[in-house]
Amino acid sequence: GAGVSQSPRYKVAKRGQDVALRCDPISGHVSLFWYQQALGQGPEFLTYFQNEAQLDKSGLPSDRFFAERPEGSVSTLKIQRTQQEDSAVYLCASRRTGEGYTEAFFGQGTRLTVV
């Protein structure tokens, strides 16, 4: 595809429900990131993959958050037992390389609303 694709664009979940958010990075991109963006705030880092390896998960707010990228391409961010404070836009970004600077391309995000 031409860019980073995220699905669904919008998700409404009842409190306590599990959700799965999908990210299709640009084909061949080694690096993949997940960010969380609360209303009126800048994006906050959640986790980073280099190919299938999750090298940094320091930003995941609790053990209810889990991310995977099993084949080094598509990634899924899973949130278990959603809470109202999980309501945010979840952004995925990919970069062509793992080392050195290359531009990060972001998807449009998934807006999660927990009711």
Partner 1 sequence: DAKTTQPPSMDCAEGRAANLPCNHSTISGNEYVYWYRQIHSQGPQYIIHGLKNNETNEMASLIITEDRKSSTLILPHATLRDTAVYYCIVRVTYGGATNKLIFGTGTLLAVQP
Binding site for partner 1 (CB under 8 A): 4, 31, 33, 35, 40-45, 48, 50, 55-56, 58-59, 91, 93, 95, 97-109
Cα 25 from chain centroid (whole Å): 10
CB of 33 to partner 1, least distance (A): 6
- Paired residues of 50 in beta bridges: 31, 53
CA dihedral 65, 83, 4, 67 (to 10 degrees): 10
Between 10 and 85, CB nearer to partner 1: 10
CB of 15 to partner 1, least distance (A): 25
Between 18 and 38, CB nearer to partner 1: 38
Residue 79 neighbours by CB distance under 10 Å: 24
